[in-house]
Amino acid sequence: MYFIDLSQHAQKFLDKLDSHIKERIENTLKRLENNPVPSDAKFIGRESGEKIFRYRIGDYRALYSIDENKKIILIMKIDKRPRVYD
């Protein structure tokens, strides 16, 4: 089982959302704890030697990396589709 860790940027974005949207995103991200690369996650490239994945949550996207040694999933960025890749 993995541990979900949010970056400051991701946490700040979640804090600004309405509570029902925030809860939906958090519940969806919790599913990554048991399966860090589900079939609907997509590998989008490497940054600093780490694999970066994209996970779609409705109109939102979460970009994350996985630390296999420490069993940590770092959610780097959450935002709407047009802005998440900036």
pLDDT for res 23: 96
pLDDT for res 84: 85
All residues at 6 or more sequence positions from 80 whose CB lies less than 8 Å from its CB, including other chains: 59, 60, 61
CATH topology of domain 3-81: YaeB-like fold (3.30.2310)
Q: Which two tokens stand for residue 62?
A: 């979460």
Mean pLDDT across the chain = 94
Domain boundaries of the chain, sorted by first residue? 3-81
pTM of the model: 0.91
Task: Convert the pLDDT of each residue in 2-17 to its tens digit.
Answer: 999 999 999 999 999 9
Q: Give the distance, in angstroms, between the CA of residue 7 and the centroid of all CA atoms in the same chain.
A: 10
Task: Convert the pLDDT of each residue in 22-66 to its tens digit.
Answer: 999 999 999 999 999 999 999 999 988 889 999 999 999 999 999
pLDDT for res 85: 77
pLDDT for res 10: 96
pLDDT for res 82: 85
